Chain A
């Protein structure tokens, strides 16, 4: 199974290179101005893109469960509760629809 070991080490090296390159890239961004503002806004925009994509993969049931998670998050600001509520909602919805 040397092919598997080869894949493991190559993927590890490639992944670490990507992670380190990001850091080196971020260091070159100036402290102020448009580039700095963009870098500051990046985390939220990236996570939002991820959520949008994940919800696009689902259907009405997932959207309803997403709305349930958001409602709980707005009401409680608690990550564990929003997670548990979303998971419970999707289980119930899938069981009954």
Chain B
């Protein structure tokens, strides 16, 4: 797949536009969070340029929020970096599971694809595929491009017009992603083979959350890995 092939009408191009279109409702949620992050950035004395650059080259919402929040709290850049990095360990599992999408692609497409991989477009790609749609690499990239554009615009706007930014919770937008991921899970459910792995994941997250002082990051990773391990050990090809 070369650049020429992409610019002509091709499956790649139609997937790119489909990814862009399907990500819209999720992008609205990302936009509201972007405004809230911009507000935080303004508190950390960050200007529009810094906010825009950060959104573009980090492109990981929750880790940006925790890192800048640490900065505002006066924890120092080192502690802020560690907090942000810890929250991003989840991305390791996300890009690992994209193996087939990246197989045989040139390095620039791999670099672009992994950078644009976030919870939202990755989950959406899997959900739509489970429903029989043809979604692959360019669908992921289309969704990612839509998200990065909205994220950068919203965060810069939030940092620049900090006084007029609504609190996400006041709009019920804090629940936007929970609702979205519930809908995505419904699409990912493909039958009783998933029952035990899914029960395992829920149980691990509940137990770790209730009984251990583990950081949420580790709780999530443990839950995901436990379910995957159950599927690997008990399942059959």
Chain A residues packing against B (C-beta within 8 Å): 1, 3-12, 14-16, 18-23, 25-27, 29, 32-56, 58, 62, 65-66, 69-70, 72-74, 77-80, 82-88, 90-91, 94
Contacts and interface: CB of A to CB of B under 8 A. Distances in A.
Nearest to A16: B115
Interface string B167-193: 000011111111111111111110000
A53 to B, nearest CB: 6
Pick from B25, B96, B176, B178 the residue with the most CB of A within 10 Å.
Answer: B178
5 contacts: A19-B115, A22-B94, A27-B99, A45-B197, A79-B183
Main secondary structure of the interface of A (DSSP, over half): helix
Interface of B: 22, 24-26, 29, 44-46, 50, 53-54, 57-60, 63-64, 67, 71, 77, 80-81, 84-85, 88-99, 102, 110-111, 114-115, 117, 119, 122-124, 126-127, 131, 171-189, 194, 197-198, 200-202, 204-206, 209, 216, 219-220, 222-233, 235-237
Contacts, number: 285
A48 B223 contact: yes
Contacts of B91: 15, 18-19, 22
A16 B228 CA distance: 24
Given A1-B46, A83-B183, A45 B99 contact: no
Main secondary structure of the interface of B (DSSP, over half): helix
Contact of B182 (A27, A40, A82): A82
Given A5-B50, A23-B95, A46-B224, A54 B178 contact: yes
B45 A79 contact: no
A12 B185 CA distance: 30
Contacts of A94: 172
Given A7-B77, A53-B219, A82-B180, A12 B58 contact: yes
B46 to A, nearest CB: 6
A41 B44 CA distance: 40
